[in-house]
């Protein structure tokens, strides 16, 4: 049985032993978090979190496999950051000292804790959810970004366990991010810029919508991508148009060209999955502009686009897929 519970004073010794285990047995602790026994987290700090009801324990069958502090307020060191909205300190939840039992790291426990923490903060009426991490803690940054947190800024700060160093500050991206599952194997996640590059150069992808009778309807399709939107063209009527009019939610997937490294029999493959909403473009100027973009991508050099447009544009609809969530993954097919 898995539970997320508030820690009690009676559990203080178990909490201390948990963090000592994390400090002793987490690989590259001195680089990623720089925690040390008694210095960070301190026993007094743990007591304070427990007493204010903000230290949470993630348990499996009663055993602690994760712990985190989630106070429903932010400190003054968060004030200089350029957040998306100005929110009073007592309406901001902040993550601190999130740790996972060493033998359960990379198993999804940390991601599950963050998701539950975000849900808890929103259920308590918090207007924002924020956190900070060392600039050197790349694994944590990839995890938070995969869970919908967005980078908001950097500060050069002093802490007892780190001395003067750079801290990165993150903010949860909002309710839209909550609708999408984080990537379980987040170490294989592609940066957003790399995802965009794959979308920009790919020539074909698969658009999936909810079709007749509630069955998924997935079809390979040409497209063009720019600035968070994907455009397609199609006939003025048919299964695809009917499905989108009934439900505008859709998924679009692109697989990059597989690569086989020297001396290997297996392929390395990159893929991008986008979730979003699709609309039929009604503005005629925009429709013609997007059709020309599609033509410029697929027609050979010197092709007479104007003649083609005059003949075929009146019979073509344009679909605008606005991306709400995008993730990319690199896999080794071995």
Query: Is residue 151 one of the residues assigned to a domain?
Result: yes
Residues 79 and 109 in one domain: yes
Encoding tokens for residue 269? Answer: 């493959």
Residues 123 and 264 in one domain: no
Distance of CA 287 to the CA centre of its chain: 31
Residue 54 contacts residue 69 (beta carbons within 8 Å): yes
Query: Is residue 264 one of the residues assigned to a domain?
Result: yes
Distance of CA 30 to the CA centre of its chain: 26
Query: Is residue 316 one of the residues assigned to a domain?
Result: yes
SS3 content of the chain, % helix, strand, coil (to 5): 35, 35, 30
Question: Could you give the CA distance from residue 78 to residue 45 in angstroms, rounded to a whole number?
Answer: 19
For the chain, the domain total comes to 2
Residues 17 and 160 in one domain: yes
Residue range(s) defining the domain that contains residue 244: 192-332
Residue 295 contacts residue 305 (beta carbons within 8 Å): yes
Q: What is the pLDDT at residue 38? A: 85
Q: What is the pLDDT at residue 182? A: 67
Domain's final residue, options 178, 207, 225: 178
Sign of CA dihedral 162, 167, 173, 177: negative
Domain's final residue, options 143, 178, 213: 178
Q: What is the pLDDT at residue 40? A: 92
Nearest of 114, 122, 167 to residue 144 by alpha carbon: 114
Sequence-distant (≥ 6) Cβ neighbours of residue 31 within 8 angstroms: 136, 137
Question: DSSP per residue over 253-279, as a string?
Answer: EEEPPPB--TT-SS-EEEEEEEEEEEE
Exposed / middle / buried, residue 6 (Cβ in 10 Å: 0-12, 13-18, 19+)? middle
Question: Could you give the CA distance from residue 106 to residue 79 in angstroms, rounded to a whole number?
Answer: 32
Say which CATH number the domain at 256 has: 2.30.110.10
Query: Is residue 184 one of the residues assigned to a domain?
Result: no
Query: Is residue 109 one of the residues assigned to a domain?
Result: yes
Residues 172 and 221 in one domain: no
Mapped onto helix, strand or coil, the DSSP state of residue 158 is strand
Question: Could you give the CA distance from residue 89 to residue 86 in angstroms, rounded to a whole number?
Answer: 9
Query: Is residue 185 one of the residues assigned to a domain?
Result: no
pLDDT averages per 10-residue partition of the chain, 334 residues: 91 96 93 90 96 95 95 96 92 96 90 89 89 94 88 92 93 65 74 90 96 93 93 95 92 93 89 94 94 94 90 94 90 84
Residues 135 and 44 in one domain: yes
Residues 227 and 124 in one domain: no
What does pTM read for this prediction? 0.57
Q: What is the pLDDT at residue 178? A: 52
300-314: b (≥16 Cβ within 10 Å) or e: eeeeeeeeeeeeebe
Q: What is the pLDDT at residue 171? A: 94
Residues 125 and 209 in one domain: no
Query: Is residue 186 one of the residues assigned to a domain?
Result: no
């Amino acid at each position: 049985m898995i539970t997320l519970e508030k820690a009690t004073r009676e559990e203080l010794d178990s909490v201390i032993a948990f963090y000592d285990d994390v400090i002793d047995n987490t690989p590259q602790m001195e680089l990623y978090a720089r925690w040390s026994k008694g210095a960070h987290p301190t026993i007094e700090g743990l007591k304070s979190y427990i007493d204010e009801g903000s230290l949470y324990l993630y348990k499996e069958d009663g055993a602690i496999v994760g712990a985190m502090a989630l106070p429903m307020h932010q400190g003054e060191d968060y004030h200089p950051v350029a957040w998306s909205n100005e929110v009073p300190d007592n309406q901001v939840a902040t993550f601190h000292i999130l740790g996972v039992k060493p033998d359960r790291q990379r198993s999804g426990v940390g991601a599950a804790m963050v998701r539950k923490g975000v849900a808890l903060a929103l259920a308590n009426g918090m207007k924002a959810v924020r956190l900070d991490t060392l600039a050197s803690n790349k694994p944590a940054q990839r995890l938070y970004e995969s869970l919908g947190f967005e980078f908001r800024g950097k500060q050069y700060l002093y802490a007892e366990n780190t001395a003067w160093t750079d801290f990165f500050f993150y903010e949860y991206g909002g309710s839209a991010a909550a609708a999408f599952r984080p990537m379980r194997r987040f170490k294989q996640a592609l940066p957003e810029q790399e995802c965009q590059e794959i979308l920009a150069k790919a020539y074909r992808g698969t658009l999936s919508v909810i079709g007749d009778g509630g069955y998924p309807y997935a079809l390979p399709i040409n497209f063009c991508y720019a600035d968070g939107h994907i455009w397609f063209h199609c006939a003025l009527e048919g299964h695809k148009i009917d499905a989108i009019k009934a439900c505008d939610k859709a998924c679009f997937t692109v697989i990059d060209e597989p690569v086989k490294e020297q001396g290997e029999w297996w392929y390395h493959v990159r893929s991008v999955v986008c979730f979003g909403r699709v609309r039929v473009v009604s503005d005629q100027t925009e429709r013609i502009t997007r059709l020309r973009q599609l033509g410029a991508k697929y027609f050979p050099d010197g092709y007479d686009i104007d003649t083609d447009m005059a003949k075929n544009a009146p019979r073509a609809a344009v679909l605008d897929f606005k991306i709400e969530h995008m993730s990319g993954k690199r896999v080794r097919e071995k």
